[in-house]
Structure 1
Amino acid sequence: MAHSRLPHLRRISQIFFLLLFIALLIFTSMRPASATTGDIHMRAPVRMFFVLDPLVAIANALATRALYRGLLWSLAILLPTLFLGRFFCGWICPMGTLQHFVGNMRSEAKRGKQRIESNRYKRWQTIKYVVLIGGLVAASFGSMIIGTLDPFSLLVRSIGLAVLPAFNFATRAVLVPMEHSHVLAVRTIGESLHTILQATVLDFRQAHFAQSLVLGILFLIILWASMRITRFWCRAICPLGALLGLVSRWSILGLHKDASSCDKCSRCLLNCQGGDDPIGGSPWRKSECLMCMNCVGSCPHDSLQFHFFRKEPEVASPDLGRRRTLTGLAIGAAAVPLMRANTGLGKSREDRLLRPPGSVDEPDFLSRCIRCGECMKVCPNNSLHPTLTQAGLEGLWTPTLVPRIGYCEPSCVLCSEVCPTGAIWQITPKDKGWVVGVSGTQHQPVRLGTAFYDRGRCLPWALATDCIVCEEWCPVSPKAIYVEEAQVVDAAGNTKTVKQPRVDPSRCVGCGACEYACPLQERPAVYVTSIGESRSPSSQILLNRT
């Protein structure tokens, strides 16, 4: 009977870690208190789940031939798997919890015998091992594309960049009219709810991200697939689950089946989440079991129990076969050169591709970035967005600064604080060197690029109209944008004096404030390119130097 309580303990564990993940994701933003005090720092270990992720640690070590700080903590998950099997997938993983919850919803495709048959082991469950092999081979060639499919990256990218902004918008759309209602009770409720939610869940600014609709739709498709097929993501695609499945082949905890008391009622299959065949008469598939304990909790005769050092027939290793193994190796080996075809790694793919401050050079960046979206979620000015084609296929969903939407805050280095893999090297405001009155340890500040003018669109240059907004917004000191007075003739033939802006490339850091503030709405007259970025020796402006 003790085994029947295990599913209840597992549910408590799942709820706790899911709420913890969501709480850390919500904290992955600059809260209103920070905005008022100017103290822009993280007050929670928002990288915790990534630090504990063995897939991120192994892929990072393969791609960089090193291990970024903190990733050694992933042994806290990997080592217990050697003894307990895939407990992480069934008890801790927030993506697994969502899959578990959605998989338990009623569906016409999973009723009675259909549900039992759906929960039996399927050959397509080996796809995740092909994905794992291909991703690790690609990582050994210096590409972190497997990070796109990491469950934590998927969750942060989907919830942080799509679900939460949509929730933020919808909530404000309801509460703001309530706060302005002429009915006192409605106004009071609206103000109270807004105050509570503002202090807990709501972001202090309404963020929006490029491709958020696409990311949200992909997330909904995964959840929909899990309603049709129990834990579709976990069973078919998840490379972290595949890694833990391979490690669990040596686990000493196993499922004991008492054939004498089993009456083949199939209740264990009715609630099986991993497709590991717990039913009597079939070998138990250890690498697929998620340790959800549903089988032992639902067995009316206590025919199923977990024991250490059991000696019964089982399928310890995934049934890959030579063909699928070679397929994974071939995909990983071919993917990197195909993704890099017609693109050079010596500099940014496009001149408008601006990486966050502290980013390493482009080849190293792509060997580290796992597309988790943490840096985008935490940016106080909503200036970081996922790329689509700007960085090539290999750089899909990596961060880029979009100055027209938001500029890089001079004193902010939050993106470097939350990056779990070192794609954005951790720096301080002093290292960044943008804060007035604070000199960095470097001879030059961190540069994201250089601003240029389109004189055919700039108001003082093209239309003889006064405008010095860009110069006023330039945050560096001395200012990188300066003005020179010039005598021009307007359309009426009158001579007038206007201040024409210019850029000093030796001072410009590429923060994008000038482009953000430019009053020309359709296309700004001043724009920032990656030319001159400090992270890349090949993206420099060629000037006469001694």
Structure 2
Amino acid sequence: MLKKFRVIISLLFFLFASVLFLDFSFSLPSKISGYVLYLQFIPSFVKFMNIFSITAAGFLVVVILTILFGRIYCSTICPLGTLQDFIGYFSKKFKKQKRYNYVFLKANNLLRYSLLVISILSFLAGSLFAINLLDPYSNFGRIITNLFRPIFLGINNNLAFALNSVNIYWIYPVEFKGVDIILLVVPLAILALVLWLSFTNGRLYCNTVCPVGTLLGFLSKFSLFKIVIDERNCKGCGICEKVCKAGCIDTDNKFVDFTRCVGCFNCFDSCPTDGLEYEFALTRNHDKSDLKIDYSKREFIAGTLLYTLGISGFAFAQKKIEVYKENTVPVIRQNPISPPGSKGIEYFTDSCTACHLCVSACPTQVLQPSFLEYGFLGMLQPRMDNKSGFCNFECKICGDICPSGAILPTTLEEKKLIQIGKVKFIKENCVVETQGTDCGACSEHCPTKAVHMVQYVHPLVPDKNLKIPETDDEICIGCGACEFACPTKPYKAIYVESNPVHQKAKKPKVEELEPVDTSEDFPF
């Protein structure tokens, strides 16, 4: 019964977490996504440290569950854990085995506690670098976003084109900007490691590499309910050891290493003699003859787990200007641009776990993983890439979904005044200057009119009625629409320079329309 509950809940968490990263139509209800993200340990902890609110205390729920029942998080809530279970299941099919054939593995405490200590020291030093590389949720997000989402979008687009050819339009193609190959190294390496360890040894990744698993394993030493072998009923058949994906059951010595048990309950489901108990820790030293398996406790565990469960492509039209003369002044940006709601670079890099949920959710794909733009320790944390897109004036999705609080939620009105950078114009690169050609793409796409056009007399064509961009830093919010729309090459004539600490822009002036005199009769 316990295993069935565990499987159902883990599949639901895995499904919803996957949809979060794959959903380009934003069809998943925000409440469901909120519940899934609330219980992800590392993002929840980081967010709690930032805002000290019960709304970010999901990690405390996980800690309480662990103190009560052990590593329930690893078997039900963590999507990377469920991914490992899928791999383990298919490895059994690949090996043509009717049953799993795991063995008891000696704990590699030196490695797993070393990685945990490194992660903690990194966090205390003010860097999330080690945590970003090892956090299971963030690794799952990067794997889905960077490796599987492009495949998913490719299938969607091919299907859309096929259906459109026969006048069926209920699937639409989605623009995809692509990912730098070098940024695929980390998710590919983690996926390869997870594949190898899961294929050969079940949940060895959870019990060796994952710092969350190690921390929760340490806490599970003090769990009130623990799985133990009942020596009265155990016949030493070894079936429980063979199905234990964590490799924590030693049938020879009638011992369960509960610090490595991930709570999958395969052993309960497989034991033919009821040789395992979910024992209340305080009765462990009492007479075994007085102990019975309390099925109401199992129901309570299942009920608790069910309660925790309860708790497009947008294509931007650039103005088609024929650029036949290349410019010569390179764009040298001093700092990367962090997304609106992130306060600034320091706060963002100190809080972002690089899960890439914002990258997958951004409708204009302006959010892209960084390489060394934030420095080595900020590798993979998202940045605003105005070559890929721009920040939609009417969008605040990234702040709404960020699980770690690196991008804080704002109202749309607040977001429209957050100045993440300021516009810079390089006259020498503009086609109006280099070619004596009208353009105005930057001004047309600026939502605040911080970029506007003014009359310009070109020295080579003084009789031509030309206009050239003029900028107003005070009302610029740094959205990058002007930079994205600028057609010049190889360098942009207009770009956004980052504000290391975000500022507040002034409201753009709204011109009032003159009232229309409606007293006269209609002329016809």
TM-score interval, normalised by the smaller of the two chains: 0.7 to 0.9
Question: What's the Cα RMSD here?
Answer: 3.2
- State the partner residue of 2:349: 366
- State the partner residue of 1:321: none
Q: CA deviation at 1:251?
A: 0.9
Alignment match of 1:232 (pick from 190, 204, 208): 204
- State the partner residue of 1:173: 158
Contact 2:241–2:250 (Cα < 8 Å) also in 1: yes
Inter-partner Cα distance in structure 1 for 2:124 and 2:177: 36
Contact 1:59–1:144 (Cα < 8 Å) also in 2: no
Q: 1:122 to 1:259 in 2, by over 3 A?
A: same
Q: CA deviation at 1:467?
A: 1.8
Q: CA deviation at 1:82?
A: 0.9
Q: CA deviation at 1:427?
A: 1.5
Q: Does structure 1 residue 217 correspond to structure 2 residue 185?
A: no
Secondary structure, counterpart of 1:10 in structure 2: helix
- State the partner residue of 1:141: 125
Contact 2:66–2:219 (Cα < 8 Å) also in 1: yes
Alignment match of 2:502 (pick from 519, 529, 535): 535
Give ranges in structure 1 of 5+ residues lacking alignment: 33-40, 181-186, 314-348, 434-444, 538-546
Question: Which 4+ stretches in 1 moved above 6 angstroms?
Answer: 107-112
Secondary structure, counterpart of 2:259 in structure 1: helix
Describe how 1:4-43 pairs up with structure 2 within 5 A: 5-27=1-23, 29=24, 31=26, 43=30
Alignment match of 1:520 (pick from 477, 488, 492): 488
Q: CA deviation at 1:426?
A: 1.9
Describe how 1:382-421 pairs up with structure 2 within 5 A: 382-421=365-404
**TM-score, normalised via structure 2 length:** 0.77
Contact 1:278–1:295 (Cα < 8 Å) also in 2: no
Inter-partner Cα distance in structure 1 for 2:29 and 2:455: 42
Q: 1:69 to 1:468 in 2, by over 3 A?
A: farther
Inter-partner Cα distance in structure 2 for 1:237 and 1:109: 25
Q: 1:404 to 1:69 in 2, by over 3 A?
A: farther
Farther off after superposition, 372-381 or 101-110: 101-110
Contact 2:455–2:465 (Cα < 8 Å) also in 1: no
Q: CA deviation at 1:284?
A: 1.8
Q: CA deviation at 1:406?
A: 0.6
What amino acid maps onto 1:138 in structure 2? S
Inter-partner Cα distance in structure 2 for 1:61 and 1:134: 21
Secondary structure, counterpart of 1:353 in structure 2: coil
What amino acid maps onto 1:157 in structure 2? R
The CA deviation string for residues 435-478 of structure 1, in whole angstroms up to 9 with x for no partner, is xxxxxxxxxx311212223333321112222222112222114x
Inter-partner Cα distance in structure 2 for 1:312 and 1:209: 58
Alignment match of 1:283 (pick from 237, 245, 255): 255
Inter-partner Cα distance in structure 1 for 2:253 and 2:346: 52
Secondary structure, counterpart of 1:447 in structure 2: strand
Secondary structure, counterpart of 2:248 in structure 1: coil
Secondary structure, counterpart of 1:152 in structure 2: helix
The CA deviation string for residues 285-315 of structure 1, in whole angstroms up to 9 with x for no partner, is 11101111112222233322322235379xx
Q: 1:173 to 1:355 in 2, by over 3 A?
A: same
What amino acid maps onto 1:46 in structure 2? S
Inter-partner Cα distance in structure 2 for 1:109 and 1:177: 34
Q: CA deviation at 1:508?
A: 2.3
Q: CA deviation at 1:534?
A: 5.2
Contact 1:362–1:536 (Cα < 8 Å) also in 2: no
Q: 1:177 to 1:111 in 2, by over 3 A?
A: closer
Inter-partner Cα distance in structure 1 for 2:399 and 2:77: 27
Contact 2:6–2:76 (Cα < 8 Å) also in 1: yes
Inter-partner Cα distance in structure 2 for 1:463 and 1:175: 40
Alignment match of 1:511 (pick from 451, 456, 479): 479
Inter-partner Cα distance in structure 1 for 2:378 and 2:275: 51
Q: CA deviation at 1:99?
A: 0.6
Contact 2:229–2:277 (Cα < 8 Å) also in 1: yes
Inter-partner Cα distance in structure 2 for 1:72 and 1:51: 8
- State the partner residue of 2:309: none
Contact 1:356–1:400 (Cα < 8 Å) also in 2: yes
Q: Does structure 1 residue 120 correspond to structure 2 residue 104?
A: yes
Secondary structure, counterpart of 1:154 in structure 2: helix
Contact 1:24–1:45 (Cα < 8 Å) also in 2: no
Matched length = 454
Q: 1:509 to 1:256 in 2, by over 3 A?
A: closer
Inter-partner Cα distance in structure 1 for 2:185 and 2:250: 38
Inter-partner Cα distance in structure 1 for 2:148 and 2:259: 32
Secondary structure, counterpart of 1:286 in structure 2: coil
- State the partner residue of 1:51: 38
Contact 2:451–2:472 (Cα < 8 Å) also in 1: yes
Give ranges in structure 2 of 5+ residues lacking alignment: 287-331, 505-524
Contact 2:39–2:77 (Cα < 8 Å) also in 1: no
Inter-partner Cα distance in structure 2 for 1:509 and 1:129: 45
Secondary structure, counterpart of 1:14 in structure 2: helix
Inter-partner Cα distance in structure 2 for 1:376 and 1:204: 15
Inter-partner Cα distance in structure 2 for 1:68 and 1:56: 13
Contact 1:482–1:501 (Cα < 8 Å) also in 2: yes
Secondary structure, counterpart of 2:228 in structure 1: strand
Q: Does structure 1 residue 453 correspond to structure 2 residue 440?
A: no
Q: 1:406 to 1:287 in 2, by over 3 A?
A: same
Secondary structure, counterpart of 1:104 in structure 2: helix
Matched-pair identity in % = 26
Q: CA deviation at 1:282?
A: 4.6
Secondary structure, counterpart of 1:46 in structure 2: helix
The CA deviation string for residues 161-207 of structure 1, in whole angstroms up to 9 with x for no partner, is 43123211123224413542xxxxxx48xx3xx73x66xxxx85445
Q: CA deviation at 1:268?
A: 1.6
Q: 1:75 to 1:123 in 2, by over 3 A?
A: closer
What amino acid maps onto 1:162 in structure 2? L
Inter-partner Cα distance in structure 2 for 1:60 and 1:529: 28
What amino acid maps onto 1:90 in structure 2? S
Contact 2:45–2:57 (Cα < 8 Å) also in 1: no
What amino acid maps onto 2:10 in structure 1? Q
Contact 1:375–1:419 (Cα < 8 Å) also in 2: yes
Q: CA deviation at 1:279?
A: 1.7
Q: 1:163 to 1:215 in 2, by over 3 A?
A: farther
- State the partner residue of 1:498: 466
Secondary structure, counterpart of 1:288 in structure 2: coil
- State the partner residue of 1:357: 340
Secondary structure, counterpart of 1:488 in structure 2: coil
Q: Does structure 1 residue 429 correspond to structure 2 residue 412?
A: yes
The CA deviation string for residues 315-354 of structure 1, in whole angstroms up to 9 with x for no partner, is xxxxxxxxxxxxxxxxxxxxxxxxxxxxxxxxxx962511
Inter-partner Cα distance in structure 2 for 1:110 and 1:240: 30
Inter-partner Cα distance in structure 1 for 2:191 and 2:389: 28
Secondary structure, counterpart of 1:70 in structure 2: helix
Secondary structure, counterpart of 1:502 in structure 2: strand
Inter-partner Cα distance in structure 2 for 1:144 and 1:101: 29
Secondary structure, counterpart of 1:499 in structure 2: strand
